[in-house]
Amino acid sequence: MTRLWLVRHGPTHAKTMLGHTDRPADLSDTDALARLSAALPRVAIVSSDLSRTRATADAIQDGRPRLPDEPAFREFHYGAWEDRPFERIDGPLLRAFFDRPGDVRPPGGESWHDVLARVTAALDRYARHDDLIVVCHFGVILCLWAEAARIPPNDAVAQGVRPLSLTRIDWGADPLAHSVDAVP
């Protein structure tokens, strides 16, 4: 069992479908970063390889061991929708992507199930850690939270996961052992 301390990166202020597009985080709220760092255990920290998560991890590291960046913890790849405003891509497929997540994919992008498979495969590589801080993205946190809480993706999509928020999940090799302590 690994206790995951999932941290969403700092805000980007993007008004687009921002997945794999690399945008910096606004880390000017140093008080929030200090409170977040103080709430975390003194354990290893890993982030996705995008600059917004790397910079957030660096800002809360505070002497914690830093593991190499993990590309598998990236946000959804939105394919043709990547970095485009919602109103420019609105349509039945976009609505299905959010209303019935699971196998629905943006053109050239990833579905909920694709991201969950990618992220859980990566977590298997970190199973040796009793506790692990993972600085990642909204979609990654929602996928893991829904899996751990045993709720369908469409129930999870409505949850908020604010920038610089913390979600703690117990993650076991057996999916039936997953549990959630803090909800986003």
CATH of the domain at 19: 3.40.50.1240
Helix (H, G, I), strand (E, B) or coil at 56: helix
Yes or no: say if 151 and 112 are a contact pair by the CB < 8 Å rule. Answer: no
Cβ distance 76 to 115 under 8 Å? Answer: yes
How many folded domains does the chain comprise?
Answer: 1
* pLDDT of residue 147 exceeding 70: yes
Task: Give the per-residue pLDDT at 60.
Answer: 97
Would you state the structure tokens that stand for residue 114, as one six-digit string? 């694709």
Q: How many CB atoms lie within 10 A of CB 94?
A: 17
* pLDDT, mean of residues 22-46: 96
Q: Residue 57 sits in which domain range?
A: 2-180
The pLDDT score that the predictor gives to residue 150 is 86
Q: At what angle do helices 30-39 and 51-60 cross, to 10 degrees?
A: 70
pLDDT above 60 (res 130): yes
Residue 176 has pLDDT above 50, yes or no: no
For the ranges 4-8, 84-88, 174-178, which has the lowest average pLDDT?
174-178
Residue 65: pLDDT above 60? yes
Contact yes or no for 97/77 (Cβ under 8 A): no
User: Would you tell me how many other CB atoms lie within 10 Å of the CB of residue 85?
Assistant: 12
pLDDT score recorded for residue 175: 53
Interval 118-124 mean pLDDT? 95
Higher pLDDT, 122 or 98: 122
pLDDT band per the 50, 70, 90 thresholds, residue 184: very low
- How much of the chain exceeds pLDDT 70, in percent? 93
